[in-house]
């Protein structure tokens, strides 16, 4: 039987092997432990792949597209008359070049354009699942072991694929409605993903990957979101109150109660004739009957201020012997125009708001 060494004998052997001599035997493990603890506090950071999307925002995007996967899977199953499972498998942030070189060639590369967001998005459908779906749409799908061609889609096949992308776009718009109104449309379809350059190669993108399963056939569907496209919505994605499926729908009774209470609220309405700049000496010299000259024409009308903010134009007049103001057209304020350009949600009201109007 082999002899078992004690702990003291093991430390003596290690000290003899130490090049610094035997005197530093007991201290070396402690030094190595301190050295290891020092390096354990250092985290690697790749400056070529900056993490511009926070973990909270990544969790929000993940929760958002989990709902999309359920809705899109149900819609696709209804269209194909068979069970199609759509499962969210990963949400990552990487550079655009890494995303493009990870795709197959040829593939079904759909470039999506939003009316209310700057930039483009990408919906990539893997040929390993697109061809089985097309086969099913054309009456096949019985033999699950058919070898599908490695080529680009034909014009007829692209027309059929447009039905699939339409379902995906509808599901995306319904899922994103609490963040902004997307109004997506397919602007370009390519088979070679390297021919499309929507952002610089080192630009950070959020890649949402789904697995589509139809019988024994499986394939990947990728949804690429450049960071500069969703950067205006970053504050909404990081909000604690954000939720894709917990938005409360107001009842007709509550809506009527709110409208009744708001209609009884009193606000201050001021008709502003004009504004004039006077010096302190001129102001002190004013007396009853003096006339102040202004640069505003009589035909320019008045400005109606509600709670100190301009809302309508007006015209002065009389009604039954009393001074009156006729309300004119609404005034378009510069802040509203800027807000409309910066905030996509302000540009297009959500479905719930449109229904209540």
DSSP notation for 79-137? HHTS--EEEEEEEEEEEHHHHHHTS-SS-EEEEEEESSSSSEEEEEE-HHHHHHHHHHH
As a whole number of angstroms, the distance between CA 30 and CA 21 comes to 16
- Structural domains of the chain ordered from first start: 55-237 (3.40.1550.10), 252-279+295-356 (2.30.330.10)
Segment of 57-71, 284-298, 334-348 carrying the highest mean pLDDT:
57-71
Kindly report, residue by residue over 257-303, the tens digit of the pLDDT: 888 888 888 888 888 878 888 888 888 888 888 888 887 777 778 88
Predicted confidence band of residue 38 (pLDDT cuts 50, 70, 90): low
Q: Is residue 143's pLDDT more than 80?
A: no
Q: Is residue 74's pLDDT more than 90?
A: yes
Predicted confidence band of residue 50 (pLDDT cuts 50, 70, 90): low
Predicted pLDDT of residue 213: 93
For residues 101-117, average pLDDT:
90
Predicted pLDDT of residue 22: 46
Predicted pLDDT of residue 253: 81
Predicted pLDDT of residue 331: 81
**Range of lowest pLDDT (9-18, 27-36, 180-189, 317-326):** 27-36
Q: Is residue 353's pLDDT more than 50?
A: no
As a whole number of angstroms, the distance between CA 272 and CA 303 comes to 5
Cβ–Cβ < 8 Å for 219, 126: yes
For residues 45-62, average pLDDT:
77
Predicted pLDDT of residue 20: 54
For residues 149-173, average pLDDT:
92
Predicted pLDDT of residue 222: 95
Q: What percent of the chain shows pLDDT beyond 70?
A: 77
Predicted pLDDT of residue 354: 42
Predicted pLDDT of residue 43: 66
As a whole number of angstroms, the distance between CA 271 and CA 79 comes to 60
Q: Is residue 333's pLDDT more than 90?
A: no
Higher local confidence (pLDDT), 163 or 332: 163
Predicted pLDDT of residue 25: 47
Q: What is the mean pLDDT of the chain?
A: 80
CA-based end-to-end distance of the chain: 90
Predicted confidence band of residue 33 (pLDDT cuts 50, 70, 90): low
Kindly report, residue by residue over 81-101, the tens digit of the pLDDT: 999 999 999 999 989 999 999
Q: Largest alpha-carbon pair distance within the chain?
A: 124
């Amino acid at each position: 039987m082999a002899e078992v060494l004690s702990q003291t004998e093991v430390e003596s052997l290690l000290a003899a092997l130490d090049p610094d001599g035997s005197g530093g035997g007991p201290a070396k493990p402690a030094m190595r432990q301190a050295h290891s603890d020092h390096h354990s506090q250092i985290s690697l950071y790749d400056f070529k792949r900056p993490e511009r999307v926070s973990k909270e925002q990544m969790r929000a995007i993940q929760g958002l597209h989990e709902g999309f996967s359920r809705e899109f899977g149900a819609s696709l199953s209804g269209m194909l008359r068979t069970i199609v499972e759509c499962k969210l498998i990963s949400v990552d942030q990487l550079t655009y070049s890494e995303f493009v070189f990870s795709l197959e060639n040829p593939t079904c590369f759909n470039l999506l354009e939003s009316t209310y967001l700057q930039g483009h998005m990408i919906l990539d459908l893997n040929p390993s699942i697109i061809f089985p779906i097309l086969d099913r749409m054309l009456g096949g799908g019985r033999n699950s072991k058919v070898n599908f061609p490695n080529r680009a889609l034909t014009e007829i096949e692209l027309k059929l694929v447009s039905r699939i992308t339409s379902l995906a776009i509808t599901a995306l718009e319904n899922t994103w409605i609490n963040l902004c109104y997307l109004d997506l449309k397919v602007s370009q379809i390519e088979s070679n993903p390297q021919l499309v350059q929507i952002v610089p190669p080192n630009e950070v993108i959020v890649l949402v990957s789904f697995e589509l399963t139809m019988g024994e056939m499986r394939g990947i569907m990728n949804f690429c979101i450049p960071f500069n496209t969703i950067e205006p919505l970053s504050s909404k994605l990081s909000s604690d109150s954000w939720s894709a499926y917990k938005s409360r729908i107001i009842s007709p009774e509550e809506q009527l109660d709110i409208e009744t209470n708001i209609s009884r609220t009193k606000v201050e309405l001021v008709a502003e004739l004009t504004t004039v700049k006077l010096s302190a000496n001129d102001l002190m010299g004013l007396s009853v009957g003096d006339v102040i000259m202004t640069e505003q024409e009589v035909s320019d009308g008045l400005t109606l201020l509600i709670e100190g903010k301009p809302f309508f134009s007006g015209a002065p007049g009389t009604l039954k012997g009393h001074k009156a103001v006729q309300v004119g057209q609404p005034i378009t304020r510069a802040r509203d125009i800027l807000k409309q350009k910066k905030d996509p949600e302000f540009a297009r009201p959500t479905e719930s708001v449109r229904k209540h109007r």
